[in-house]
């Protein structure tokens, strides 16, 4: 069955409607920018409502495999699981992939498809799938930051890379996980991680022929002698995961302001999000807040309706 027929059947729409949506799909995106955590802005390309619907439908009937070491965009996993995987190792290395989504192209997608041993779709279906999943960035088709299908497609495209790197790390006694574009390695053997960046560059070159590269400015080595952070979560010297002292102080400060009725509604919503995050990452800290500020105050924060 053609991809058009499958989408039409899944979405209960006529095939000509699906064809109309996909025909110019790579340019059916709204562009906007959000500030990055440190400096600069991140470009978001958000597909139209109709195209999003088709992308989500595609994921429902096309189950793209993901490697076990991929921790992002998988049901039941979060940044907490990613940090837990490394909490018992003394030495840590973090690497970052440069311009991750916008570096993944249809060629990478189909090359991975072939390497999994699956039969390639017909040429017509390949063209429709490319229109469905990829955004036209300066006359080049790439994954967009903003499409609901991009996370799963990116994990699929990293499948062979993850397998090769996982095998190498396992032989060296190194724990490896990937959270989107964040690669984390940990071990209890001193100095062994210094060899990893070059190995990763070699595997990237082999798998992606120069399309995917490391952002060398974000390479970080750390150990128990220094603060260890994995996807924003602190790993303490005793091997526990924590929000970190500065974030805890900030949350306490905001709760105190809330208790004095000094926060506006937007600030309360921000605090509510932080509290939910804290409860997920470090439940014992959340319990300590109840003891310090009272159950009534904490419940009042969570009872504020979402905007």
- The reported pLDDT for the residue numbered 28 is 95
- The reported pLDDT for the residue numbered 186 is 98
The DSSP code sequence of the chain is: --HHHHHHHHHT--HHHHHHHHHTGGG-EEEEEEE-SSSSEEEEEEEPHHHHHHHHHHHHH------TTB-SS-TT--HHHHHHTTTT-SEEEEEEBTTTGGG--HHHHHHHHHHTTPPPPPHHHHHHHHHHH-EEETTEEE--TT-TTHHHHHHHHTHHHHHHHHHHHHHHT-EEEEETTEEEEEESSTTGGGGHHHHHHHHHHHHHTTSS-B-GGG-EEEETTS-EEETTEEE-TTS-EE--HHHHHHHHHHHHHHHTT---HHHHHHHHHHHHHHHHH-HHHHHHHHHHH-HHHHHHHHHSPP-
What is the residue-level pLDDT of the chain in tens, covering all 307 positions?
A: 799 999 999 999 999 999 999 999 999 999 999 988 777 888 999 999 999 999 999 999 999 999 999 999 999 999 999 999 999 999 999 999 999 999 999 999 999 999 999 999 999 999 999 999 999 999 999 999 999 999 999 999 999 999 999 999 999 999 999 999 999 999 999 999 999 999 999 999 999 999 999 999 999 999 987 779 999 999 998 889 999 999 999 999 999 999 999 999 999 999 999 999 999 999 999 999 999 999 999 999 998 787 6
What kind of fold does domain 3-230 have according to CATH?
Answer: Alpha-Beta Plaits (3.30.70)
Instruction: Parse the chain into domains and list their residue ranges.
Output: 3-230, 243-303
- The reported pLDDT for the residue numbered 307 is 64
- The reported pLDDT for the residue numbered 304 is 77
Q: What is the pTM of this model?
A: 0.92
């Amino acid at each position: 069955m053609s991809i058009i027929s499958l989408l039409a059947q899944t979405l209960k729409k006529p095939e000509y409607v699906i064809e109309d949506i996909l025909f110019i799909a790579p340019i059916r995106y709204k562009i906007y920018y959000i500030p990055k955590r440190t400096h600069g802005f991140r470009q978001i390309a958000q597909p139209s409502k109709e195209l999003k619907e088709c992308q989500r439908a595609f994921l429902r009937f096309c189950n793209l495999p993901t490697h076990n070491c991929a921790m992002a965009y998988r049901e039941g996993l979060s940044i907490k699981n990613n940090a837990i995987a490394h909490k018992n190792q003394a030495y840590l290395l973090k690497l970052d992939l440069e311009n991750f989504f916008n570096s993944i192209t249809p060629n990478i997608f189909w090359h991975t498809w072939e390497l999994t041993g699956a039969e390639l779709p017909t040429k017509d279906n390949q063209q429709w799938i490319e229109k469905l999943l990829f955004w036209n960035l300066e006359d080049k088709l790439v994954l967009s930051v903003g499409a609901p299908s991009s996370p799963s497609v990116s994990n699929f495209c990293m499948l062979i890379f993850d397998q090769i790197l996982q095998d190498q790390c396992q032989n060296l006694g190194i724990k490896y996980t990937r959270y989107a574009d964040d690669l984390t390695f940990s071990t209890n053997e001193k100095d062994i991680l210094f060899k990893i960046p070059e190995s990763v560059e070699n595997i990237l070159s082999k798998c992606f022929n120069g399309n995917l590269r490391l952002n060398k400015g974000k390479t970080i080595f750390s150990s128990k002698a220094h603060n260890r952070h994995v996807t924003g979560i602190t790993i303490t010297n005793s091997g526990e995961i924590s929000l970190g002292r500065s974030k805890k102080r900030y949350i306490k400060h905001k709760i105190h302001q809330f208790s004095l009725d000094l926060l506006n509604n937007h600030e309360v919503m921000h605090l509510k999000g932080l509290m939910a995050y804290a409860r997920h990452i470090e439940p014992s800290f959340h319990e300590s807040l109840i003891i310090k500020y009272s159950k009534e105050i904490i419940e009042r924060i969570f009872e504020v309706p979402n905007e």
